[in-house]
Amino acid sequence: MKTVEAVKEAWGRREGPVILATVDKEGSPNIIYVTCVGFYGDDKVVVADNYFDKTRRNIKAGSKGAALFMTKDQKAYQLKGKLEYHDSGPVFEDMKKWNPTQHPGHAAVALVVKEAYSGADRL
């Protein structure tokens, strides 16, 4: 099974919030829970920027990122890659379709997945 297929299959069994990690210019980590998330294409996990502060600053400063999620059978998946900040365009418009209307959806943050792990196993 290809990495993309394995991750998307696991994503379909996701339960609970996703954890998103970034770092600032000095290398200090920032970790947040996110619940307004989706998949875009074959390689992007998209998070709605509803109330970001440090996370937004880190992304705009060029931070790479990681996302961690659990499946219903309590299996952990970690995704790593570069982060893109979209305040217009197709990724942003897609996020606006699924982001709850009570949240502002200032932008869509796309984690472009370059590495994926299930537990300690690289996919």
CATH of the domain at 29: 2.30.110.10
The number of beta carbons lying within 10 Å of the beta carbon of residue 60 is: 12
The whole-number pLDDT of residue 2 equals 61
- The span from the CA of 75 to the CA of 31, in Å, is 20
Number of domains in the chain: 1
Which segments of the chain are extended strands (E)? 14-23, 29-34, 37-40, 44-49, 64-71, 76-86, 107-118, 121-122
Residue 100 has pLDDT above 70, yes or no: yes
- The per-residue pLDDT for range 49-79, each reduced to its tens digit, is 999 999 999 999 999 999 999 999 999 999 9
pTM of full prediction above 0.85: yes
Residue 36 is part of which domain span? 3-122
